[in-house]
Amino acid sequence: MVNRHAQEDLMKTIVGMTVFLMAWSSAVFGQCSDADKKALEAFDKAWTAAGANGDKAALTAIYADDYAGFPSLQAKGPTIEATMATFERNKTNPPTTTTTGDRYIINCSPVSATVTHRNVTVGANGNTTYSRSVHILEKRGGKWQVVSNVGNALDDNATIWYLEQDWNDALPKRDKAWFEKYLAADFSGVDDTGKPFNKAGGIADLMNDKGTVESNETSDMNIRVDGNTAIVTGIYRTKGKDDKGVAYDRRARFTDTWIKRDGRWQAWTTQGTIIKP
């Protein structure tokens, strides 16, 4: 079984602002309800759609009059005009990439909110790049509006952190396509029973497993990147039922090795050891 295991100064400014806004939002805002989070995620996606569709009226309602985008502090009017210019340009020269948002982290109060998410951009060649956006919203006149926005490309450390979360999600879904894409051709691993496996064998074991995963999570992650190689250690906990219907709750300490080839990260090895109660 496959175990779950611009410029430099400008980038520093953007990354620093992102960290500040995320920390500030966690301190200021209480926990959103699930309904609040769903509504804010829907708002964010409607905002993206408005830009892609060149819906100037919708964009005018979405941006607050005192909007300021980082790092250039661009105001509402120029921001909308830039979006419309991109829309017109895309009509005659359609983009060869597609971008979607995921991994939402949302905090809110009744009148304020921060929405943080990853942006996944897939090129015509199938290669994927990542960035992150942080939006500051306020509810005015009963409707959410964007008052500020900051974004940054993800460095290798952050990219791998997100990929580890994707691995988490792919396991219970038995997402064969994800493992085909993100396990290197020469991938190898050792499961928590000491059994070695390669890419094909690991995927086959996963697809043939009759057990069910009810919950899984990763904690205590430490990511070290050196050039085109990264080592990730952490604790993986999974709860579920095995193929005989017997419930289990396991914790394992894992080590994953990632390798960067042709500009993209792939899992190269994994190894897990059960932590006894």
Ordered strands of the 196-198 beta sheet: 196-198, 183-190, 264-274, 247-261, 229-241, 212-226
121 within a domain of the structure (yes/no): yes
Q: Identify the CATH number of the domain in which residue 31 sits.
A: 3.10.450.50
Kindly state whether residues 149 and 13 are assigned to the same domain.
yes
**Rounded Cα distance, 244 and 241, in Å:** 7
Kindly state whether residues 189 and 96 are assigned to the same domain.
no
**Rounded Cα distance, 130 and 172, in Å:** 24
49 within a domain of the structure (yes/no): yes
Region of 25 please: left (phi>0), alpha (psi -120 to 50) or beta: alpha
Ordered strands of the 143-153 beta sheet: 74-75, 63-69, 143-153, 128-140, 112-122, 98-108
126 within a domain of the structure (yes/no): yes
Residues found in the chain: 277
Kindly state whether residues 25 and 149 are assigned to the same domain.
yes
Structural domain boundaries enclosing 77? 8-153
Kindly state whether residues 24 and 134 are assigned to the same domain.
yes
179 within a domain of the structure (yes/no): yes
Q: How many domains does the chain have?
A: 2
**Rounded Cα distance, 144 and 138, in Å:** 6
3 within a domain of the structure (yes/no): no
What is the C-alpha radius of gyration for the chain, rounded to an integer number of angstroms? 21
Query: Could you please report the per-residue DSSP string of 28-68?
Result: H--PPPHHHHHHHHHHHHHHHHHHHHT-HHHHHHHEEEEEE
pLDDT in tens, the chain (277 residues): 455 443 344 444 444 444 444 444 444 445 789 999 999 999 999 999 999 999 999 999 999 999 999 888 999 999 999 999 999 999 999 989 999 999 999 999 999 999 999 999 988 887 889 999 999 999 999 999 999 999 999 999 999 999 999 999 999 999 999 999 999 999 999 988 889 999 999 999 999 999 999 999 999 999 999 999 999 999 999 999 998 999 999 999 999 999 999 888 999 999 999 998 8
Kindly state whether residues 24 and 59 are assigned to the same domain.
yes
Kindly state whether residues 15 and 143 are assigned to the same domain.
yes
2 within a domain of the structure (yes/no): no
247 within a domain of the structure (yes/no): yes
**Rounded Cα distance, 187 and 184, in Å:** 5
Kindly state whether residues 130 and 162 are assigned to the same domain.
no
* Residue 265, both tokens: 């990260």
